[in-house]
């Protein structure tokens, strides 16, 4: 009973591990999508930073060629520098988030690999459990009924033939006697001399005609 309970408990373990692996794989796919989104966001910030840099270069060139008032040029440059600094900060944060998600993704990959190994081991144990169950069924091929009374084993054809076979002709005619009367006698003690048994039938052939008729039937 305890062995069967242990086998049943061990058989349910692979299903839980497989379900855990599926959930972990779903979370892993979600993290991969998040990393991809952060990568696109970082790419957009880099493009915006390049655009601001081009605007600064254009402003510098315009300052050299256009006679604008110095105050307006300085204000435009200050706004461009602030926008550039803000974009650089956002880009640094996006890169930090991207590195963090990449590390988490590596950890998830390691967990998935370990779960895969655990599932393979559990599947191998499941094969061993099936083999053990098969061995138990072979060891107890005919379980006893609930009442506790075993069913009688069927007799083989040879034994049924031997039991249904008619007795020998001599036994049926009363000449040879039953099988119990033909059982071998016990060996006497080596120092014991058996007494001569009296002859119950002093006339060995009381009916000669019956004996001749019997010999004719046998021949």
- Owning domain of residue 57: 2-139
Q: Is residue 10 part of a domain?
A: yes
Asked if residue 102 belongs to a domain, the reply is yes
In a domain, 200, yes or no: no
Task: Specify if 217 maps to a domain.
Answer: no
Whether residue 13 is predicted with pLDDT greater than 50 in this model: the reply is yes
pLDDT tens-digit readout, 182-195: 444 454 455 555 55
CATH number for the domain harbouring residue 29: 1.10.287.1490
CA 52 vs CA 43, 76, 89: distances in Å: 14, 12, 14
Residue 47 has pLDDT above 70, yes or no: yes
- Give the separation between CA 80 and CA 185, rounded to whole angstroms: 129
Residue 167 in domain: no
pTM over 0.95: no
Q: Residue 148 — left, alpha, or beta (φ > 0 → left; ψ -120 to 50 → alpha)?
A: left
User: Taking every pair of C-alpha atoms in the chain, what is the biggest distance, in angstroms?
Assistant: 168
Q: Is the pLDDT of residue 112 over 60?
A: yes
When divided into structural domains, the chain yields a total of 1
């Amino acid at each position: 009973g305890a062995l069967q309970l242990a086998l049943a408990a061990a058989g349910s373990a692979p299903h839980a591990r497989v379900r855990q692996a599926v959930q972990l794989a779903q979370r892993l796919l979600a993290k991969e999508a998040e990393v991809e989104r952060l990568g696109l966001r970082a790419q957009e910030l880099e493009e915006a930073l390049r655009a601001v840099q081009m605007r600064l270069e254009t402003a510098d060139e315009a300052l050299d060629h256009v006679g604008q008032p110095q105050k307006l040029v300085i204000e435009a440059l200050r706004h461009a520098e602030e926008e550039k600094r803000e974009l650089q900060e956002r880009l640094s944060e996006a890169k930090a988030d991207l590195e963090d998600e990449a590390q988490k993704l590596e950890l998830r990959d390691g967990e998935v690999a370990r779960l895969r190994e655990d599932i393979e081991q559990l599947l191998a144990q499941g094969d061993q459990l099936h083999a053990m169950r098969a061995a138990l069924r072979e060891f107890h091929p005919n379980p006893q009924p609930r009442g506790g009374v075993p069913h009688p084993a069927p007799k083989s054809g040879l034994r049924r033939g031997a039991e249904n076979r008619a007795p020998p002709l001599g036994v049926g005619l009363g000449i040879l006697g039953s099988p119990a009367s033909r059982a071998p006698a016990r060996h006497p003690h080596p120092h014991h001399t058996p007494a001569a048994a009296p002859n119950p039938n002093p006339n060995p052939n009381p009916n000669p005609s019956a004996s001749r008729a019997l010999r004719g039937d046998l021949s």
